[in-house]
Structure 1
Amino acid sequence: MTTERYAALLRGINVGGKKKVPMAQLCSVVEGLGCTDVRTYLQSGNVTFAADGGDETSLARDVAAAVNGEFGFAVDIVVRDHAYLRGVMEACPFPAAELQGRQLHVTYFSEPVSAERFAGLDPAAYAPEEFRLGDRALYLYAPDGLGTSRLGARLSRPALNKGLIATSRNWNTVVELVELTSGV
């Protein structure tokens, strides 16, 4: 069996005092699943680890069940391997090197999404903000940051993400997750 490196992206923890998940405890939970080299990044639900076998979907399900068992609440989780995370970073349609990390975000989806899902959005209404779709990902350019982004708020509405797990990370986190899952 080949050991792969993954990142589990937990959605909506440690926000506004709700769904509190201490990172050290999260590491212990993931280690309890037999994963190794477990590390967290920030307090917003990023945990990287090495695992033998399994696939992203089953790993997400296992981590979610373990988190629910430990903390007593459900958390949506997307798990992606290093190759995928690196591919998303490299495929960025915006000039990431020229932007601040707070200006560029990636939303990771649990399933592929099509342009039809977003057909009702008029891009001109949100300019200069823009978004582009990628492989189970959405890239958002928000020049003033996500906190004031009208397009970001619209894209996060449940109707657009129905049937999906969707969780966003700023570009600094995207880059760090690639590094943390590189195995170096």
Structure 2
Amino acid sequence: MQTYIALLRGINVGGQKKIKMVDLRQLLAQIGFKDVVIYIQSGNIVLKTEERNPRALEKTIASEIHESYGFDVPVLVKSKEEIQDIIEKNPFDNSEDLEANRIYFVLLKEVPKKDLTEALVNETFANEKFIITGNCVYLCCAKGYGNAKCDNNFFERRLKVPATTRNYRTMTKLLEMSEK
């Protein structure tokens, strides 16, 4: 069995797209996923399956949510190994920034086009630094993510790829949960 981390975007935020995590866990177990564990209320799921295609898993989860709840939710699935690699390659490893929750990972569904990446890399923003790789934008927000101009929507618009963002604590907790 392969362990995956599924990340749902935009649920249980501001009263929109409400999904009880206990119900979601039960739904995913009913359709065949094993050892389903949910972390906090914002759609962070660790699960096991025989399926080896993350894109197929994204479609299955999104389809089941649409069928059960009547709305669309973007789903991004990464293997445990991908998440571990992303965390290990984090260039923003200042312990003060990590402890103060200033480090974020904008996880990309696909590799952005080179010209879009190159155009964005040359821009600078006060209190925000980022480094773009093939599958992740590493982001350091000196004033916190809530005040950042470079948020998830910004990177989706500029790179023209679907994305979802998680902070360092969430990423490390998901990795820890996936190792059980």
Relative to the length of structure 2, the TM-score reads 0.91
Q: Contact 2:102 / 2:140 at 8 angstroms: preserved in 1?
A: yes
Q: Name stretches of at least 5 consecutive residues in structure 2 with no aligned partner.
A: none
- SS at 1:150's partner residue? coil
Q: Structure 1 residue 48: deviation in Å?
A: 0.8
Residue by residue over 1:94-133, the C-alpha shift from the partner in whole angstroms, topping out at 9 and shown as x without a partner, is 1153323520100111111245324156533x13311001
Rounded to whole Å, the distance in 2 between the matches of 1:55 and 1:109 is 16
Rounded to whole Å, the distance in 1 between the matches of 2:33 and 2:174 is 17
Q: Structure 1 residue 27: deviation in Å?
A: 0.4
Residue by residue over 1:4-42, the C-alpha shift from the partner in whole angstroms, topping out at 9 and shown as x without a partner, is 111110011111100001100110111122111101111
Task: Tell me which of 166, 170, 175 is aligned to 2:172.
Answer: 175
Q: Contact 1:115 / 1:133 at 8 angstroms: preserved in 2?
A: no
AA at the equivalent of 1:66: E
Give the structure 2 partner of residue 15 of structure 1: 13
- How many positions carry a matched residue from both structures? 178
Rounded to whole Å, the distance in 2 between the matches of 1:114 and 1:103 is 27
Q: Structure 1 residue 161: deviation in Å?
A: 4.4
State the percentage of identical aligned residues.
28
Go from structure 1 to structure 2 and tell me whether the alpha carbon gap of 1:154 and 1:64 turns closer, same or farther (over 3 Å shift).
closer
Relative to the length of structure 1, the TM-score reads 0.89
Give the structure 2 partner of residue 150 of structure 1: 149
After the TM superposition, which segments of 4 or more aligned residues of structure 1 sit over 4 Å from their partners? Answer: none
Rounded to whole Å, the distance in 2 between the matches of 1:8 and 1:181 is 11
Rounded to whole Å, the distance in 2 between the matches of 1:43 and 1:75 is 14
Rounded to whole Å, the distance in 1 between the matches of 2:157 and 2:81 is 30
Q: Contact 1:131 / 1:138 at 8 angstroms: preserved in 2?
A: yes
Q: Contact 1:101 / 1:172 at 8 angstroms: preserved in 2?
A: no
Does 2:99 correspond to 1:109? no
Q: Contact 2:36 / 2:46 at 8 angstroms: preserved in 1?
A: yes
Rounded to whole Å, the distance in 2 between the matches of 1:153 and 1:58 is 23
- SS at 2:48's partner residue? strand
Q: Structure 1 residue 135: deviation in Å?
A: 3.5
Q: Structure 1 residue 148: deviation in Å?
A: 0.5
